[in-house]
């Protein structure tokens, strides 16, 4: 049986070790999951002026995301001449919204059209119009930007239909980034999802969390498919170091939503924690079997951020500490799973959503 034969179901057990450590399987994940599903690359608000850009690493493929005339575009970071990467800086600004290759000065406009190619007019049958930058599919949802490297993929609106209205009460597209942290974690990207999808570990890994939100007071609205999760009851005002809110309540929430924190995961690379007064959104960038970058954004109402006494530190510190606890246990798990002694173990009933993630992952790999 080939290492890449995924016909065996998980049968209530965790995945075999090869799914976390194999370079060959990671290469197949890129094709079947990471490059075939809608992949979050960032927030639209990161591009504030025409010509600004940022780079996104979509599991090994570098994507330029840029803005011009209030329109956002995405391009593969590959010159159409000899394949040179057009930019190396993670963020920056294109002068006059022109993208120029540093090698032979082929130049593209904001729509990716080739507008200058020095001396190529001497080449027979060369036509500028035939050599635009290649563009993945790009879509916006709740203020986030997503790309899909599969040219035949269903539109995002279709793919996200089951989850389309889940975040609507928080008006996430209207919120703004109040703080950002970036983490480099030596673990497999799937372990980050599996950990986030269960609170079986919370009492041992996050001893202070139960006081704010009892780990047994949870339920799930989504129990299968790419979108998973649901609410946990709050025993405090919010998930902060003080247990109190750091900003005014998000004004569109009803009383039920203000008494809970909602946790959702979106395969392949998003996690959400939605509070009465702020939202934390994590974007996961798999870089190899045991290498993952995670970007966390704390989102608040613009009116709260503008207040002179706005102080989000208790919210930032609570989740920064919780993140570090999670990443540490995920790294420790990766080390154990990498051992020859590892064998798939049984899921507990408290890990049903993690098991649902594995089931969806296996389905995608098949």
Report the pLDDT value the prediction gives residue 331, as an integer from 0 to 100.
Answer: 98
Could you tell me if 132 and 179 lie in one domain? no
Q: What is the pLDDT of residues 133-164, one digit of tens each?
A: 999 999 999 999 999 999 999 999 999 999 99
Residue 218 scores a pLDDT above 90: no
Could you tell me if 110 and 168 lie in one domain? no
Could you tell me if 307 and 172 lie in one domain? yes
Residue 336 within a domain:
yes
Residue 342 within a domain:
yes
Residue 6 within a domain:
no
Q: Which of 140, 157, 174 is the last residue of a domain?
A: 157
CA angle 270, 220, 188 (to 5 degrees): 35
Could you tell me if 187 and 324 lie in one domain? yes
Residue 1 within a domain:
no
Q: What is the mean pLDDT of residues 75-86?
A: 98
Could you tell me if 305 and 348 lie in one domain? yes
CA quadruple 39, 45, 51, 55: dihedral sign: negative
- For residue 115, report the phi and psi dihedrals to the nearest 5 degrees: -115, -10
- For residue 341, report the phi and psi dihedrals to the nearest 5 degrees: -80, -10
The proportion of the chain whose per-residue pLDDT surpasses 90, expressed as a percent, equals: 92
* Residues ≥6 apart with Cβ < 8 Å to 50: 67, 68, 69, 97, 110
Residue 33 within a domain:
no
Report the pLDDT value the prediction gives residue 8, as an integer from 0 to 100.
Answer: 57
Q: What is the pLDDT of residues 307-320, one digit of tens each?
A: 999 999 999 999 99
CA dist., res. 170 & res. 299, Å (int) = 10
Report the pLDDT value the prediction gives residue 217, as an integer from 0 to 100.
Answer: 77
3-state per-residue secondary structure call for 112-155: CCEEECCCHHHCCCCCHHHCCCCCCEEEEECCEEEEECCCCCCC
> For residue 82, what is the domain's CATH number?
2.102.10.10
Could you tell me if 286 and 170 lie in one domain? yes
Where is average pLDDT lowest: 4-13, 89-98, 171-180, 332-341?
4-13
- Count of domains observed in the chain: 2
Q: Which of 157, 190, 218 is the last residue of a domain?
A: 157
The tally of CA atoms less than 13 A away on the side-chain side of residue 21 is 14
Report the pLDDT value the prediction gives residue 1, as an integer from 0 to 100.
Answer: 34
Q: What is the pLDDT of residues 1-37, one digit of tens each?
A: 345 455 555 678 999 999 999 999 999 999 999 999 9
Residue 359 scores a pLDDT above 90: yes
Could you tell me if 122 and 198 lie in one domain? no
**Structural domain of residue 302, as residue ranges?**
162-365
Residue 5 within a domain:
no
Predicted confidence band of residue 353 (pLDDT cuts 50, 70, 90): very high
Report the pLDDT value the prediction gives residue 139, as an integer from 0 to 100.
Answer: 98
> For residue 234, what is the domain's CATH number?
3.90.380.10
Q: Using an 8 Å Cβ cutoff, are 187 and 292 in contact?
A: yes
Q: pTM of whole model > 0.85?
A: yes
Could you tell me if 311 and 241 lie in one domain? yes
**Which H/E stretch holds residue 359?**
helix 352-365
Q: Which of 122, 157, 192 is the last residue of a domain?
A: 157
Residue 8 within a domain:
no
Report the pLDDT value the prediction gives residue 5, as an integer from 0 to 100.
Answer: 59
**Closest by CA position to 181, among listed 357, 84, 315:** 315
Report the pLDDT value the prediction gives residue 2, as an integer from 0 to 100.
Answer: 44
**Which H/E stretch holds residue 274?**
strand 270-274
Report the pLDDT value the prediction gives residue 7, as an integer from 0 to 100.
Answer: 55
Could you tell me if 220 and 74 lie in one domain? no
Place of tokens 């608040």: 300
Residue 26 within a domain:
no
Could you tell me if 68 and 196 lie in one domain? no
Q: What is the pLDDT of residues 163-213, one digit of tens each?
A: 999 999 999 999 999 999 999 999 999 999 999 999 999 999 998 888 899
Total residue count of the chain as it appears in this document: 366
Cβ density class 291-302: b for 16+ within 10 Å, e for less: bbebbbbbbbbe
Could you tell me if 131 and 188 lie in one domain? no
Residue 356 scores a pLDDT above 80: yes
CA dist., res. 302 & res. 305, Å (int) = 5
Report the pLDDT value the prediction gives residue 12, as an integer from 0 to 100.
Answer: 85
Could you tell me if 152 and 169 lie in one domain? no
The proportion of the chain whose per-residue pLDDT surpasses 70, expressed as a percent, equals: 97
């Amino acid at each position: 049986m080939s290492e890449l034969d995924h016909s065996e179901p998980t049968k209530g057990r965790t995945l075999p070790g090869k799914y976390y450590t194999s370079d060959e399987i990671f290469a197949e994940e890129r094709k079947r999951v990471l490059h075939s599903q809608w992949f979050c690359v960032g927030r639209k608000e990161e591009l504030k002026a025409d010509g600004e850009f940022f780079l996104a690493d979509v599991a090994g493929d570098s994507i330029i995301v840029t803005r011009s005339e209030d329109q956002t575009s995405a391009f593969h970071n590959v010159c159409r001449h000899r394949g040179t990467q057009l930019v190396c800086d993670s963020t920056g600004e294109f002068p006059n919204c022109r993208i120029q290759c540093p090698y032979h000065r082929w130049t593209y406009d904001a729509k990716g059209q080739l507008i200058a190619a020095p001396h190529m007019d001497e080449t027979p049958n060369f036509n500028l119009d035939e050599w635009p930058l290649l563009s993945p599919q790009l879509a916006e949802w709740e203020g986030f930007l997503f790309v899909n490297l599969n040219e035949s993929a269903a539109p995002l609106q279709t793919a996200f239909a089951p989850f389309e209205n889940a975040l609507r009460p928080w008006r996430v597209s209207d919120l703004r980034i109040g703080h950002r942290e970036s983490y480099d974690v030596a673990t497999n990207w799937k372990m980050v999802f599996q950990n986030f999808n269960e609170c079986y570990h919370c009492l041992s890994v996050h001893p202070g969390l139960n006081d704010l939100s009892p780990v047994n007071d949870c339920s799930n609205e989504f129990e299968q498919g790419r979108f998973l999760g649901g609410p946990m009851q709050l025993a405090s005002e919010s998930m902060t170091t003080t247990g109190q809110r750091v900003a005014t309540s998000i004004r569109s929430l009803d009383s039920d939503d203000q008494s809970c924190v909602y946790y959702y995961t979106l395969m392949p690379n998003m996690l959400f924690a939605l509070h009465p007064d702020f939202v934390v959104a994590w974007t996961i960038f798999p870089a190899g079997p045991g290498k993952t970058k995670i970007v966390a954004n704390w989102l608040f109402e613009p009116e709260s951020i503008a207040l002179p006494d706005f102080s989000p530190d208790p919210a930032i510190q609570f989740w920064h500490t919780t993140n570090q606890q999670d990443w540490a246990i995920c790294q420790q798990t990766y080390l154990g799973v990498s051992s020859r002694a590892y064998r798939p173990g049984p899921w507990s009933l408290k890990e049903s959503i993690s098991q649902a993630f594995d089931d969806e992952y296996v389905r995608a790999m098949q």
